[in-house]
Structures are given as C-alpha cells and as structure tokens.
Chains A and B, each alone.
Chain A
Amino acid sequence: MKTIWIIAKRELEIFFDSLIAYIILGLFLGFSGFFTWLYGNDIFLVGQANLRVFFSIASWSLFFFIPAITMKMLAEERKTGTLELLLTKSVSDRQLILGKFLGSVLLVCIALLATLPYVITVSSIGNLDNGGTICGYFGLLLMSITYTAIGIFASSITTNQIVAFMTALFIGLFFHIIFGVLAQNFTGSIGQIFETLNLQSHFESISRGVIDSKDLVYFLSITVLGLYLGESSLSKRHSS
C-alpha cells in the first residue's frame, strides 16, 4: 500500500510541477463553467437551483480530459525506459498500475473539488438539493474511476501517448454513446444487454439520487477489468 502511495504522490507532484496540470484543470473548469453558467441550456435558462446541467456537462468534459491525464502514465515510462527502472525496484506490476491509477483519480478529484464554488453559488441563489448534489458528484467520481482504468489500460499497451489517448477515447466512446444508441435500435434481450452496458444510463440513475448496487457493480467491474488488463499487458514482457 505504501508503495502505491509513493508512486501516486510522485505522479501528482510531477503533474503540478509541469504546465500540463494547469492547462488540463483550466480547460476542464473553463469548459464546464462556460456551458453551466453562460451558454446554451445553462442554469439560468433552467431556472432551478440544482446542478443537473453541470453534471451532464462535466460527464462530457471528463470523458475527454481523463484520457489526456492517463495517456502518459505508462506509455511514457515505457518509451523512456523508466518502466524498467521502476519495476526492478521493489515494485510489483500491480502496485505500479494501482499507483498510477490512484494518482490519476486524485487529480480528477482535485478538478472536481475545484468546482465546489459552483455548489456554493447555486446554494446561495436558491434552495439546493443537497442529497442530489452529493449523488451527482458521486456519479461523476464513479464515472471518472471507470474512464481512468480504461485510460491506464490504453496507456499500458503502447509507447505512443497519442495512440494511448485515441485508444482510451475509442473504448470510452462505446460506453459513453455507442452502447446507448445500440440499446435504442435493438429490442428484446439484445437491447437489454446494450442498455446494461450503457454508461450514461447508470450515471443518470445515480445522479438522479438513486444509488443502486447494480450501478456500483457496473462501474467497479469495468474499473477492475481495465486495471487487470493493464497489469497483464505489463506482465507480457516476462514471456516471449
């Protein structure tokens, strides 16, 4: 556990040492802030004291920004050879994957924490539904860990960060849109399967305030699968 934390901590330190962290955080806040407060179907148009608008915008911006965070995690280590350095220290493949995962998730958490002024602002305008808001953030968090695990896996299979980014987006796209579209086009049990795989419907049911064990199992099982596949692709070097 200590090893995982050391790796995660370094990841965060490096991130805030470089410009990338601030660019990504700035873009995330700018993008979600713009659509929540200023443009289109914003809070003032809806006229209700809740953060529904923000949650649906944030789910889209996280969809793009998480792959940008995770793309370098293992791809860069592999490319520069530092992967060999790490894994010949007292670090197992699993610890490395979990450390990278934890580091990325913490970064997303920091981004989410930075949106707390939105909550404060809205609650000063009207009577904010606290339970709904907490559930909304919880849903965003679950979605984030799922996409982070997918991103870590995508980063583990290549040495090229762009390829890692595109792969993560491509896999994410299925969960974010394609399964939903397929669910509408098919009827019966096939439609049911696609509906189960559709991340949006699970996310919406949580952010509506209903925390169902089905949704938790859904998010956590994709996360575990992503991390497991990431670990196996690291371990591939042992066999020829």
Chain B
Amino acid sequence: MDIQIEKLTKTYGPQTAVNDISFEVKTGEVLGFLGPNGAGKSTTMKMITGYIGFEKGDIQIGGKSVTDPTYDLKRHIGYLPENNPLYHDMPVIDYLEFCASLQGIEKQNINKRIREMVGVCGLNSEKHKKIGELSKGYRQRVGLAQAMIHDPEILVLDEPTTGLDPNQIIEIRKLIRDLGKEKTVILSTHILPEVEATCDRILIINRGKIVANGTSETLRKQSQGNEILKLRIEDGKADKILKSLRTLDTVQSVACIEQNQNVFEVQSLVEQTSKRNVFNLCVQNKWVLTELTPLETKLEDIFRNLTVK
C-alpha cells in the first residue's frame, strides 16, 4: 500500500506543528524520518495512523483518504508510538493476545501469530513475565511485536531502536530491512547511521517543513557539490607539489593541510574528477602517492546544515 501525503497542515493553537508538507512512500520502501526534537515527526506519524486529525491537506493510503469513516484503515497499519507505551501489569503473551484480537485476527490464528512474533522479536525467554518486569530493550521488542502482530501492510515506527543494545539494534535493523521489501515502512530516528543502514530514502523535516528528501547519496551530492580529495604525496617538496597540483586543469583549489607530512586537500571543478591527473602528475615527477581519499560529507553535516539555522 502506498502512502501519499498532500499539503498536510496541523496546528496546535498558535503553533504550527506541521506546515504544508507533501511526500510519498511506496510499497517496498523504507522511509527514514529525520529531524530535530519538535520538528513535527511524531505529529506526522500520528496523523498517518489516524490518531489525530489535521486541518488542511490529505493523507491517502492505498488510494483512499484516512478521513473516510467507512474505511477501516487501522487494520492495515502497525504502529509503534513514541516512548513505547505498554500495559505494565500484563504478561507479554496476554498482551500480544489482546492486541491480536483487537486487530481482528481470527481466534484459531492468534496463537500461531503470537508464536511467530515471539520468535521474530526474540521474546521467548521472557514471554511469561509481566511487561513491567522487563528491561527496556525487551519492552521495545514487545512494542515491535504488537505493531507487527496482524501482519500489516504499513509499519509506522517512532524511534524503534531506542533502548536496544548494539546486537539487538543490528537484529532489529535487519528485521526492518526484510519487512521493507514487501511492506511500506516509515521510521523516525535520531541515530543518523541507522537511517543509512536501514532506509531507502531519507526525509529531513525541520520546524514542520520538509528540508530534504532523497537517498543518502543524492543528499550527499546536493550538499557537497564538488569532489574533494585528500592526498598524501611523499618524496617531494611541499611547495613544489602544491604548485604543480594547481596547474592541473581539473583542479579548482588546493590547500596544504600538513606541511611536513605533505598532506593536501584538492577541490575539483564542478562535475570533474582529478584522481587520474593527480596520479599521472605523481608518476611524471616520481613522487609516491601514499594516500588518496575522496572526502564524503557525513550525514551528520548535512543534517546540521539543514536544521541549524
């Protein structure tokens, strides 16, 4: 099921939480929702799941509007809310059974689904404990299990990996990737490497507006522009190397970062690469090229550039 969001606006009194945003998520896609605290991520997710209403715009899921009262959309959505609220006085199994029956799973299939979810989320050793007795990581797994219990076509996960240890994080990311092959997944997070590891596409939102939308590569390209290479050239004098590098016709500028180590930073002209020219130059002068690293803009930098203003 595809999700289409058109010109969505939501205000809380005088404050505009989400301001005229539009985007689309297709089946088989994992969309990462990034943004500083209070940017409107959770609000948007709440609107997609139908928990809160909105003033303007429309959300269409599978071609139908979420505001259509005849459409039992909630059965197609699995939702893990922020802070993962759970009934602490219920045992894990009872809780999953409660969620399954609320989602309209037939009685004979409930136990099978619970067994599957317990297996997938690694809850086997804790399944008879009360949720309140579980550690934070296990609670998070219970939260994921309840979101997926009815095998929904759409998964909306608000910070799914908070509180998990590194091993669990890797498992959950893998799970999300696997799910994302057939389903539509939207997840929000503060952990930037997580987005790169799990998401096909990134949406950065700031103060209720979308500031970036694309794969991590396209975002990099957009914010980086020209190629930047870090070079270390031995067996030559720094000022001579600097001069010759400047004469290369693909190079825009050269900076010497460490004089005595002969480390340089070379910025190429727009949409050109100087890697070959640098290599040939070194061969001609019998210098030894010991390092050539293309510098990538980190996602952190992109995020900071877009959201701190």
Contact = CB atoms under 8 A, between A and B. Distances in A.
A89 B103 contact: yes
Contact of A85 (B11, B53, B81, B101): B81
Interface string B25-63: 000000000000000000000100111110100000000
A17 interface: yes
Contact of B11 (A14, A82, A86, A240): A240
A87 interface: yes
A38 interface: no
Contact of B55 (A82, A88, A240): A240
Nearest to A18: B89
Contacts of B104: 90
Contacts of B87: 14, 82
A127 interface: no
Interface string A222-239: 000000000000000111
Contacts of B13: 240
B207 interface: no
Contact of A90 (B74, B86, B90, B146): B74
B10 interface: yes
Contacts of A240: 10-13, 55
Contacts of A80: 85, 88
Interface residues of B, number: 32
B46 to A, nearest CB: 7
Interface string A80-104: 1110111111110000000000000
A81 B49 contact: no
B99 interface: yes
B271 interface: no
B81 A84 contact: yes
A90 B51 contact: no
A216 interface: no
A166 B49 CA distance: 34
A167 to B, nearest CB: 24
B83 interface: yes
Contact of B99 (A13, A89, A238): A89
B102 interface: yes
B79 interface: yes
Contact of A17 (B50, B85, B89, B102): B89
Given A84-B81, A90-B72, 7 more contacts: A3-B102, A81-B83, A82-B86, A88-B51, A88-B77, A239-B53, A240-B55
Interface of B: 10-13, 46, 49-53, 55, 72, 74-75, 77, 79, 81, 83, 85-90, 94, 98-99, 101-104, 146
24 contacts: A3-B102, A6-B101, A80-B85, A81-B85, A85-B85, A85-B86, A85-B146, A86-B102, A87-B51, A88-B49, A88-B74, A88-B77, A89-B102, A89-B103, A90-B72, A90-B103, A90-B104, A91-B102, A237-B51, A237-B52, A237-B53, A240-B10, A240-B13, A240-B55
